[in-house]
Amino acid sequence: MRRTRFDDAECPIARVTDLFGEWWTPLVLRDAMYGITKFEDFQHELGVSRAILTARLSRLVDEGYMDKVPYQDRPVRHEYVLTDKGRAMWDVLAVMWRFGEEHLWEDGEQPLVELAFRDTKERVRPVVVDEATGRPVDLAAIRIRSRTRTRR
Amino acid sequence: MRRTRFDDAECPIARVTDLFGEWWTPLVLRDAMYGITKFEDFQHELGVSRAILTARLSRLVDEGYMDKVPYQDRPVRHEYVLTDKGRAMWDVLAVMWRFGEEHLWEDGEQPLVELAFRDTKERVRPVVVDEATGRPVDLAAIRIRSRTRTRR
DNA sequence: CCGAGTCAGTTCTTTTGTTGAACTGACTCC
DNA sequence: GGAGTCAGTTCAACAAAAGAACTGACTCGG
């Protein structure tokens, strides 16, 4: 019995979960965001099994999150670089970061690392708002509806 | 060999992944956000195995995302309701929603469901910005640094 | 008061995934 | 020509998921 797939669900959250719910995948993407590109570097950084890393990178390439580009011949060596689609995942990781630092440390404790803007050196605190209005995306103020109009 | 745990990692993303990376967990949380509270309803809605659902709900309760509250005696029946911590996960789900609808449908296709504000009926498009400044949380403009000051 | 139904699990077997370690192969560099 | 680097593949042991059946404590209708 194969693990249930969610990649053709009607719910966007479920489709993302199909990728993101694979063990190690969010951390591979995270390290890619930090600038890691080589197989060995991912492997050392994460401590993941080489077999799993191969499978995860292959899927990320197949689904357009990363490109596998040769950077030398003899022997052929590749690096894994994020595509625009891959880089768009940063939003998800940033919000996970915020949730984690707010809720997953003991009271009075904080993670040893934080996000900061390069230019102003101010700490970054990611929040989610509506693009057009800037309103917070509060669960109580939102509903899910079926998209019947604007077929476009 | 037990699956590698990330719940004591120094990186906030890794800690969130430890929970979120478990198969079905994001979908259980999603359905809880939509108002589902009973074991049977989760099970029917998701089609998940009962054993897995038991394990996922137990973990969510243990770690403070949900409360298991009795709503009747004889026989004792419980409902699973989100805590504030659980509800705070909505931000993560909302951004996953946005990513999914933008990137995980074929060109010209769109999901059948969308998010809308209850009051204005306008469609919601979640984006991630810095809480204090409203600046977009752009990967290129950000760096990770170790938190040496502001011990607080 | 008997049988059907409901809710919330637990137990079971089969299949799939993950881990860690060893192995392969194509090189380069000294 | 031996050591080192990079990017994998293969393998055995173990963990996790799927699906289905089973348990148990009730309620309710006839």
pLDDT at site A77: 85
From residue B52, give the alpha-carbon distance in Å to each of A52, A122, B76: 23, 43, 21
Task: Give pLDDT tens digits for A29-86.
Answer: 999 999 999 999 999 999 999 999 999 999 999 999 999 998 887 778 889 999 999 9
CA angle A10, A13, A18 (to 5 degrees): 90
**Every domain of chain A and the residues it spans:** 12-87
Q: List the single residue in B97, B146, B152 with the smallest CB-CB distance to A113.
A: B146
Q: How many CB pairs under 8 A join A and B?
A: 245
pLDDT at site A102: 95
Q: List the single residue in B92, B114, B115 with the smallest CB-CB distance to A99.
A: B92
Mean pLDDT of B8-36: 94
Amino acid at A90: W
B18 touches strand C (CB under 7 A): no
Nearest CA in chain A to B130: A126
From residue B83, give the alpha-carbon distance in Å to each of A102, B87, B88: 15, 6, 9
The tokens for B114 are 């969308």
Task: Give pLDDT tens digits for A106-138.
Answer: 988 999 999 999 999 999 999 999 999 999 999
Mean pLDDT of B115-129: 97
pLDDT at site A149: 58
Task: Give pLDDT tens digits for B49-65.
Answer: 999 999 999 999 999 99
- What is the phi/psi pair of residue A78, to 5°? -120, 160
Pairing of strands B126-130, A126-130: antiparallel
Answer yes or no: CATH 3.90.1150.10 is held by domain A12-87. no
Q: What is the CATH number of domain B12-85?
A: 1.10.10.10
B4 touches strand C (CB under 7 A): yes
Is B131–A126 a contact, with Cβ atoms under 8 angstroms apart?
yes
Is A144–B96 a contact, with Cβ atoms under 8 angstroms apart?
no
